[in-house]
């Protein structure tokens, strides 16, 4: 359906998912320590391979396979803790009539007799395979791109969704304060668009920060916006508008992340100043005419 509608897609898949774990196992050991495969911004290693998404797929997809050591440690610890918890639960119910959930059958061979649970045995092959896959994940894209580009694209999208899910914490949305469902829908739509823009700003700033040796703290979204807000226009006695002060070195770095420079700011300032003057001119002329009439009266 997506191909017929000419839709592109980006899909994140956990390493233990059935349709990617064989692909990961096939390429395991090929990229995890290669510096050419390093994605420094996320301390992750990745590579890209072409494969079919499903058996009768007619188009090759781009599978971006990743490995992260920190993720491996946390996932292994979580899996071991889950196994210990399941074993403790099964030890408590031995000899009792009890039907364990399907998830237990995935990791253990369960023994029942006349509806009573009597014991279990680890499925070592299943557990060992999942331990091997800890720390791995994949992103599938319809469009050709590098592993780094796919991860950056997914992270920016993921950030937008997470921010949208928690926007009440920083956008004042504990209550909507609207009079109709249409107004609520409009407000939600505007917020989602705003968060997409914010995610784009975040991505560009993060990329610029990765290129700089010192990792400056003013390249976060709140700090960058606060710094750019200092660029202001002031009105001179003759009615013209000009920048309050020159663009600072910090502001130049931030603007550079968006492909802008000081000359662009100056050009925008001149144009905005002209627009303000043109917008105010009819009102000023009207005031002058009224003053003249009052003097004649």
Tens digit of each residue's pLDDT (9 = 90 or more) over 233-247:
998 888 788 898 899
pLDDT for 260-294, tens place per residue? Answer: 999 999 999 989 988 888 887 665 554 554 554 45
- Contact by Cβ (8 Å): 264, 228: no
User: 26 with 150: CB under 8 angstroms?
Assistant: no
Report the alpha-carbon distance of residue 259 to residue 290 in Å, rounded. Answer: 48
Q: Return the bridge partners of 64, or none.
A: 48, 139
Compute the distance between CA of residue 255 and CA of residue 238 in angstroms, rounded to an integer: 30
Closest CA to 39 of 131, 134, 137, 133: 137
Asked if residue 41 lies in contact with residue 153, where contact means CB atoms within 8 angstroms, the answer is no
Alpha carbon 230 to chain centroid, angstroms: 28
**How would you classify residue 38: left for phi > 0, otherwise alpha for psi between -120 and 50, otherwise beta?**
beta
Which residue's entry shows tokens 């627009």? 275
Rounded to 5 degrees, what are φ and ψ at 22? -70, -35
Question: Residue 95: what are its φ and ψ, rounded to 5°?
Answer: 85, 0
- Decide if 254 contacts 202 (C-beta within 8 A): no
Listed in sequence order, the residues at least 6 apart from 201 whose beta carbon sits closer than 8 Å to its beta carbon are: 221, 224, 225, 258
Give the whole-angstrom CA distance, residue 166 versus residue 173.
9
Give me the pLDDT at residue 124, please.
96
Q: How far apart are CA 97 and CA 103, in angstroms?
A: 18
pLDDT of residue 296: 44
> Residue 160: what pLDDT?
57
- What's the predicted TM-score (pTM) here? 0.62
3-state SS assignment for residue 175: coil
Strands 38-39 and 10-14: unpaired
pLDDT in tens, the chain (297 residues): 666 677 788 888 887 777 788 899 999 999 999 999 999 888 999 999 998 887 777 788 999 999 999 999 999 999 999 999 999 999 999 999 999 999 999 999 999 998 899 999 999 999 999 999 999 999 999 889 999 999 988 887 655 566 666 555 545 555 566 677 888 788 778 877 887 788 888 888 988 888 888 778 899 889 999 999 999 999 888 878 889 889 999 999 999 999 999 999 999 998 998 888 888 766 555 455 455 445 443
DSSP helix/strand/coil, 50? strand
């Amino acid at each position: 359906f997506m191909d017929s509608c000419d839709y592109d897609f980006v899909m994140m898949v956990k390493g233990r998912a059935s349709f990617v774990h064989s692909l990961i196992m096939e390429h395991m050991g090929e990229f995890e320590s290669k510096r050419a495969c390093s994605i420094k911004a996320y301390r992750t290693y990745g590579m890209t391979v072409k494969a079919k998404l499903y058996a009768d797929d007619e188009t090759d997809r781009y599978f971006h396979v990743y490995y992260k050591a920190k993720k491996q440690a946390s996932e292994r610890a979580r899996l071991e803790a889950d196994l210990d918890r399941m074993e403790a639960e099964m030890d408590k119910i031995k000899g009792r009539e009890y039907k364990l959930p399907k998830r237990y059958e995935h990791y253990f061979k369960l023994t029942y007799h006349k509806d009573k649970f009597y014991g279990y045995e680890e499925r070592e092959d299943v557990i060992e395979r999942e331990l091997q896959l800890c720390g791995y994940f994949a992103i599938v894209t319809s469009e050709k791109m590098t592993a780094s580009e796919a991860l950056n694209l997914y992270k920016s999208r993921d950030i937008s969704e997470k921010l949208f899910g928690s926007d009440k914490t920083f956008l004042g949305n504990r209550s909507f304060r609207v009079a109709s469902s249409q107004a609520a829908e409009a407000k939600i739509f505007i917020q989602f668009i705003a968060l997409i823009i914010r995610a784009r700003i975040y991505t560009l700033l993060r990329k610029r920060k990765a290129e700089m040796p010192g990792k400056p703290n003013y390249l976060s979204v709140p700090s960058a916006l606060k710094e750019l807000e200092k660029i202001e226009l002031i009105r001179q006695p003759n009615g013209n508008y000009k920048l309050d002060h020159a663009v600072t070195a910090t502001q130049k770095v931030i603007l550079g992340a968006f492909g802008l420079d000081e000359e662009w700011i100056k050009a925008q300032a001149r144009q905005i100043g002209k627009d303000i003057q043109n917008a105010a001119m009819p009102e000023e002329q009207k005031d002058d005419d009224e003053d003249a009439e009052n003097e004649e009266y």
